[in-house]
Structure 1
């Protein structure tokens, strides 16, 4: 199985001296759903941002679909990201003045690609009758489904999701997580999701744990209970790995 994303020896140190990533290496296989978890300040969001090309690591390499993102210049990196990477954020990041359809098609416009008919994607996500609505007329769960559709429209190599259910109620969160699984198993995409919620992580194929900017283990076929237990003992796990 090919890797959709691979990071090698990633370091990220900020101007204030804080090290957010301390030599992280990881691979995310094509067609898989991985949750990234860890305590606040563990480096999980920084890992996602560096892997997605939104932030530049201090050292290390990032590969997406075999292309080394860290070897490209800013303009080329932006162009590559628009065509090959999808994003789903906690706060949706929809433009309020654009309709559902216009929001979904925006990445194609920015990438200079030919317009597609988004009806198939929107229909699959339960939004077929909301194409001409503005975001303010949608529920939180519906807005996040629009964000998922927007992430899919460019047929990216990978979709990065940063706390995609953090602002949703339990029912809407479950619907969005089910859709992210469908993105993997029906659309064949790769999803890397940062979350703090063991229930959300249990929808993934595997969980990658971080602590203090370092890898602190992984868990295949996770359950919410197993994830919560692993998080509770993360300090012990980090000690054993360091040893």
Structure 2
């Protein structure tokens, strides 16, 4: 079975792109291949001018730790660590010195300056996801990949996280690629890339929830 078939996509620096499609359309596979989590059986992946698919697995891991940020639906926070310890963990794993001052600055910017010594269990879902965003930002990555980042959040928390991701792009010049199933979440992006049956099925600029929902409803026709 082919998860992705002939997909070619580029994500402009300083842009926010949502990736959408039915279950099994290849969204997560695209995200994992683009981020260097999975190695495609064919094709090439470039991030910030570096061809990931031309490197060894060890080199790919090192590159990810330096130049790629991740935000996942289940936060991926370690319950035994404080907020600050969770945020600096990728740096420690990469053997880099953790800049505590910068960490605290980022947490303060995200409204978590007074929670840095708390453990995740004391935080709301939205606050945990903001910790995950802070962790992704701390390494100053070339791109941040987000896989259903609002899937486990209530409506208010989801809006806060999406507004934050948009600010990461427009205020800080980062590139964000987000997989989502929610047309309202996709409307926060600059553009939407649609997949169906492992193939590209169109794109939409300046998306609105209604326009995204309509395109999803007719995705089979678009793909054909």
Structure number with the higher strand fraction is 1
- Structure 1 residue 52 corresponds to structure 2 residue 13: no
Gap runs ≥5 in structure 2: none
- Structure 1 residue 69 corresponds to structure 2 residue 39: no
More deviation, 171-180/103-112: 103-112
**TM value normalised by structure 1:** 0.91
Deviations 1:166-211 (A, max 9, x none): 0000000000000000110111100000000000000000000000
Structure number with the higher helix fraction is 2
**Alpha-carbon offset, residue 120 of structure 1:** 1.1
- Structure 1 residue 196 corresponds to structure 2 residue 196: no
Structure 1 runs of 4+ aligned residues shifted over 2 Å read none
State the alpha-carbon separation in 2 of the partners of residues 19 and 198 from structure 1.
26
Residue equivalent to 1:126: 111
**Alpha-carbon offset, residue 61 of structure 1:** 0.2
**Alpha-carbon offset, residue 212 of structure 1:** 0.3
Q: How does 1:1-243 map to 2 (within 5 A)?
A: 18-116=1-99, 117=101, 118-239=103-224
**Alpha-carbon offset, residue 146 of structure 1:** 0.0
State the alpha-carbon separation in 1 of the partners of residues 172 and 108 from structure 2.
14
**Alpha-carbon offset, residue 48 of structure 1:** 0.1
Equivalent residue of 1:26, what SS? coil
**TM value normalised by structure 2:** 0.98
Deviations 1:61-113 (A, max 9, x none): 00000000000001000000000000000000000000000000011111111
State the alpha-carbon separation in 2 of the partners of residues 134 and 81 from structure 1.
26
Question: Greater RCO between the two (CA within 8 Å, min separation 6)?
Answer: 2
Two-structure CA RMSD over aligned residues (Å): 0.5
State the alpha-carbon separation in 2 of the partners of residues 83 and 180 from structure 1.
19
State the alpha-carbon separation in 2 of the partners of residues 110 and 51 from structure 1.
21
Gap runs ≥5 in structure 1: 1-17
